[in-house]
Structure 1
């Protein structure tokens, strides 16, 4: 939403600087659970400050070297050459293309590893679990939300019941990379799936578990059909031209330090950013629009004394109601044509 692309070099400093500008919460703490990459970036920064060393160096010394992983490291220098490194790809119209990833940050991502090292890691976790290690217990500890509903996500790992056994797991994705780690401690079982293309690794991991543990698991529950027939969405009536014209102009987010231009093209409202393609917005009613891109999937205009003064933007499932203020007196180039 701030204009960053996946193939940009994004450093830890970039992320922390953006986080320090954030003003609002998505919800009251404890009201619900929402996965937070930002939280892990802050945790990595805290570890680095308390340890007095880089987060990557701390992990190498205190974790990876202690359990003898041979290839795992925190990749916080994007220029670093890595032996046998895999690159990520994606299928675009039946042609594979490279999906460049140049991250130089940690806590949220940038853990380079292999299936062999992940197997070593799972064996270590199994041994620690058997010994009653309180740290491991904390990782999978589930606490109730404010409404007393139990949260499935622990302090770093997801733990839930699956076919009569506890399943401990976590997924990861960046660019074209996909991964899933699944452990069934009761049966001494674990599987790691690493992909360099989007392929549904969680599904693959559970299919392997189904096959290997078929004689030890409770019968699988039949999937409940939710097919109630196709129900077409009711399309709202088009807004009048004088109403649509109120939305045009330039909008700025102080938190992201970025600007969007709203313009008309072919009778439709479009959103323009200098680093993205124009995005067509679908009208859902007065002052409400649905976006065509995941990072900007909804906007709701706000008014002051009847006049548009900005909008609130949602991105994916983790950004909610991010404030953009309308920049007064800036209406140039709102016809949809590039200057």
Structure 2
């Protein structure tokens, strides 16, 4: 058998190695490993980041290898022992910690979050710990709040910063329990709950109750971004013009993110989701039980775990994305197969890679669930192009026909027609369904993705504002919730918005008083008399954050962009 980079057995306490198979079986195993190597070959060079992959079957390590570079500055290769920041995969460990405290009777999942965080606002409807665990809480997204308050992507984000933003919010995205929208704020709050209930930080609690008992010796929650961590992989994003730039998140908060680990340690955890060696079967089963909306609808998400299957097989999984780090961990409980891919390049998509690895192992048991494509003419596609707005979420979706396919503007994925006005994005099973225009009503669009909450859109028919009318939107707008003033001005014939010495965001008109930019949808509001009195900012995880207009005049003098002091 050829040589390969397998993790030493002492790193896999709790996992075992299979006995040497017979020649035919050995050839089959070797063939699968060669397939895995070929899949990761594009990321195996010495001038780019890459991935570590680990695969176990029924607690037996099948394969582990590193591809590409852990550190491009010092020519350090990735190995199975490399330590990665795994972003949102961290959530299941926070949820498990909450579950351990619930087992001991120290809290209940039905408790109001304000029992432990009395500084959180009362919104008129109780937000419970279960709402936090299942993403049915309605809280606005923490990172986007800080961004809109002036934090830059490379700034330090702390737990105190997040609590400052969340405790100032006067509204939520939706009534708790009525929808499910994935977000990070809930799990940051759950980490605080662990500390206030147990008297220990989440890092210390998880070390004592989860990681040490499972032999996860290379795993911990990072609570200090300056901490030196041997064997930690750096992370990278592509640099304009070629090459790479360092993209390591500067964060001193955890619960929703910030777990550092290796593929070997994560495989030990995946095995615990099968055998419940720590926590017991009841607790690991509860993590893998779907949350439900108030009307009983299952969300497909447990406690930090996605529960949707893959090609007819039951699958438990979660991915992670932070800075240049990309990660995915999935488990097929019935086949007792676990696959982990931890990557350090922003252009790598480990969720695609892990599923292709799964197909190498379980393809004979899988079904093809992707609906076949049907043919539509360019005229039929063009009739669907345009701008759609959701009264529910205040999001805007812009569609165009490009390279013979319907696509979102500035998004490469093509929509594949599957019949009856229905499309799927790429090779997914998500559904975008168009309705025909009714008498006096524009065309509609329904989007059904991973989550059971369907988002409803209607085609925008309001006329574009004429160039002279743009001046009426210029001025300053104040959000007391974020203690931030937004300056709107005309730049090169378009509106632009700037705040807290940030770079300006250009706003594209989509009709009427509504505009879109990289921060989401900006909608200007008017008084009954028609005067502009404010604006709202919305995106997928943050709805209708309001800023009041400070000056009633139609034009407010604004300094030129280059006159602002650099940040």
TM-score (norm. length: structure 1): 0.91
User: Where do 5+ consecutive residues of structure 1 fail to align?
Assistant: none
1:173 to 318, 321, 324: 321
Match of 1:209 in 2: 358
1:91 to 203, 225, 238: 238
Aligned residues: 334
1:323 to 528, 531, 546: 546
Distance 2:252 2:291 in 1: 33
Is contact 1:159-1:167 (8 Å) kept?
yes
Q: Deviations over 1:62-83 (max 9, x none)?
A: 1111111111111011111000
- 1:248 deviates by 0.6
Is contact 1:23-1:255 (8 Å) kept?
yes
- 1:182 deviates by 0.4
Match of 1:233 in 2: 386
Q: Deviations over 1:244-274 (max 9, x none)?
A: 1221111122222222210001211111123
Distance 1:24 1:77 in 2: 31
SS at match of 1:158: coil
Report matched runs for 1:162-311 at 5 Å.
162-198=310-346, 199-215=348-364, 217-225=365-373, 228=376, 229=378, 230-231=381-382, 232-233=385-386, 238-291=464-517, 293=518, 296-304=519-527, 305-311=529-535
Q: Deviations over 1:186-241 (max 9, x none)?
A: 011011111111211111111110111123x2322244437744424379754234
Distance 2:463 2:170 in 1: 36
Q: 1:204 to 1:261 in 2, by over 3 A?
A: same
Match of 1:115 in 2: 263
- 1:149 deviates by 3.1
- 1:319 deviates by 0.8
Q: CA RMSD in A?
A: 2.3
Match of 2:249 in 1: 101
- 1:118 deviates by 0.5
Report matched runs for 1:142-153 at 5 Å.
142-153=290-301
2:192 to 45, 50, 71: 45
Match of 2:29 in 1: none
Q: Which moved more, 1:60-69 or 1:234-243?
A: 234-243
Q: Deviations over 1:92-111 (max 9, x none)?
A: 23311111311110111111
Q: 1:275 to 1:167 in 2, by over 3 A?
A: farther
Q: Deviations over 1:3-43 (max 9, x none)?
A: 21221111111111111111111112222110120100111
Distance 1:273 1:298 in 2: 16
Q: 1:219 to 1:238 in 2, by over 3 A?
A: closer
- 1:284 deviates by 1.3
Distance 1:237 1:124 in 2: 57
Distance 1:72 1:245 in 2: 55
Q: Deviations over 1:136-161 (max 9, x none)?
A: 11112113323443211112211123
Match of 1:141 in 2: 289
Q: Which moved more, 1:145-154 or 1:12-21?
A: 145-154
Q: Which moved more, 1:242-251 or 1:131-140?
A: 131-140
Q: 1:224 to 1:131 in 2, by over 3 A?
A: farther
TM-score (norm. length: structure 2): 0.56
Work out whether 1:314 is the aligned partner of 2:550: no
Q: 1:159 to 1:281 in 2, by over 3 A?
A: same
SS at match of 1:280: strand
Is contact 1:264-1:336 (8 Å) kept?
no
